[in-house]
Amino acid sequence: MATDGQHGQQGPVVLGVDSSTQSTKVLAVDVATGEVLARGQARHTVSTGAGRETDPEVWWEALQEALAQVGPYAQAAEAVSVGGQQHGLVVLDERGRPLRPSLLWNDVRSAPQAQALVEKKGAAWWAERVGSVPGASFTISKWEWLRATEPEVAAAAKAVRLPHDFLTERLSGAGVTDRGDASGTGWWSSRTGGYDEELLAEAGLDPKLLPTVLGPGERAGTVLEGVGVRPGALVGAGTGDNAAAALGLGLTPGQPVLSLGTSGTVYAVARQRPADPSGTVAGFASADGGWLPLACTLNCTLAVDKVAELLGRERNEVEPGGEIAFLPFLDGERTPNLPYASGLLTGLRHDTTPGQILQGAYDGAVYALLAALDLVLGVDGDAASADEPILLIGGGARGAAWLETVRRLSGRPVRVPAASELVALGAAVQAASLLTGEEPAAIAGRWHTSDGPLHPAVARDDAALARLGAALPLLGG
């Protein structure tokens, strides 16, 4: 896929939006070729106090700023779609204005509420009925935290949305979502394909407050006047960030993805509906009508960067050797489910170097992801192959230390797609599908989005894996 072309418009233009934890990004993409014609990005403000929150108006302002950066393409676009961070809780008043900052997916204050939800019905019940066992990241847990902590805000809510829904509604005026993002709320049943009325009743939540769940290929509506995009352009249903990246890659069953960002994520497209009672694998729906079993860790690139900062080293200044076992769970952890954990470092010796400690942080972050990946691929066991390259994406995929750590601890070949901003690109794929009627995988295929250098497998470092496995029980995992 070409990027940032200078050869003029070759066909209809679509916009793909990625509203992540840290920033909003917009790609203007040529539908015919997949060429990225322009891009924009604006940062978000995230609180770092007792929890992790952002005012949704910050996302809207960032989207406007990013749209301005793509210049005339925003007014030439024929369709737009939004991919966004999952799980966040957005509560709105009757005018569509936020009643409070959004609780983000990595806000773990709702861990007691998540535990109470699981204990009430049992993990197996949740896995079979909803497809996932609620954790602190899930919207359902955050809603219960809001009811317990700020009951007046919960009572005043006239609409409850996910982050991508908020932006889609601002663009189109439609209160809608898609099955991919809805499946991360804890209220949407993967068994029935709709909201679970029993759970909503127990949550004291009127179904009318929730967005309508659109099916694959359905559109939210058209762009309103004065919102930064050409009025009348088609608006896609949008989806969650991981489901959008899967669209952008054109994934087929058995292709493992490891995403290195603020969070670490592993997922694959599956033919079977996931239902993992351990809660490690979330049974999410994909945006194209299938399934997207997924596991997510809280501590990934930001945690390793923090360790590098503490050591006074650049992020790639790692050294081999030593007997370090480092579990860098600096913000608690979701996978394994240790919301109150902190970092654990063992194996220090007089001759341990700062570079070995930093490498240990990389090892611990990747170890948690690879352990979860085995379970993700087990959902469709016949589709999983040890010879299938891991698709390594996200900001960390461009880092040499991350790449080599994944190769060394997985023992698998690794492919790094050349295409960047895969969430925004996947949203662009969804927008293009509205225009052409093609399946998203066909569009991603002709855009060659998953092409990139293949790094062959190396011998797996079983000694490092064993050290980390022995350290995990010290945290209760």
Which residues are the active-site residues?
A: 241
Distance from C-alpha of 248 to C-alpha of 287, rounded to nearest angstrom: 11
Instruction: Count the neighbouring beta carbons within 10 Å of the beta carbon of residue 342.
Output: 13
For residue 64, give Cα distances in angstroms to 19, 84, 229.
12, 15, 9
Distance from C-alpha of 149 to C-alpha of 168, rounded to nearest angstrom: 28
The two three-digit tokens of residue 287, written as one number = 């945006």
Neighbouring residues of 297: CB distance < 8 A, sequence distance ≥ 6: 263, 264, 265, 333, 334, 335, 365, 368, 369, 372
Instruction: Count the neighbouring beta carbons within 10 Å of the beta carbon of residue 463.
Output: 9
Distance from C-alpha of 176 to C-alpha of 386, rounded to nearest angstrom: 39
- 264-267 and 257-260 beta bridge pairing: antiparallel
Cβ atoms 106, 331 nearer than 8 A: yes
CA dihedral 66, 48, 147, 296 (to 10 degrees): 70
Give the 3-state DSSP-derived string for 320-364, with helices as H, strands as E and coil as C: CCCCCEEECCECEECCCCECCCCCEEECCCCCCCHHHHHHHHHHH
CA dihedral 125, 129, 134, 140 (to 10 degrees): -130
DSSP-derived secondary structure letter, 474: G
Distance from C-alpha of 287 to C-alpha of 310, rounded to nearest angstrom: 40
Distance from C-alpha of 12 to C-alpha of 433, rounded to nearest angstrom: 12
Furthest CA-CA distance within the chain: 67
Distance from C-alpha of 140 to C-alpha of 160, rounded to nearest angstrom: 11
The two three-digit tokens of residue 119, written as one number = 């204990």
Cβ atoms 306, 330 nearer than 8 A: yes
What is the helix, strand, coil percentage profile of the chain, to 5?
Answer: 35, 20, 45
The residue with tokens 């292709």 is 255
Distance from C-alpha of 431 to C-alpha of 423, rounded to nearest angstrom: 12
Distance from C-alpha of 291 to C-alpha of 328, rounded to nearest angstrom: 30
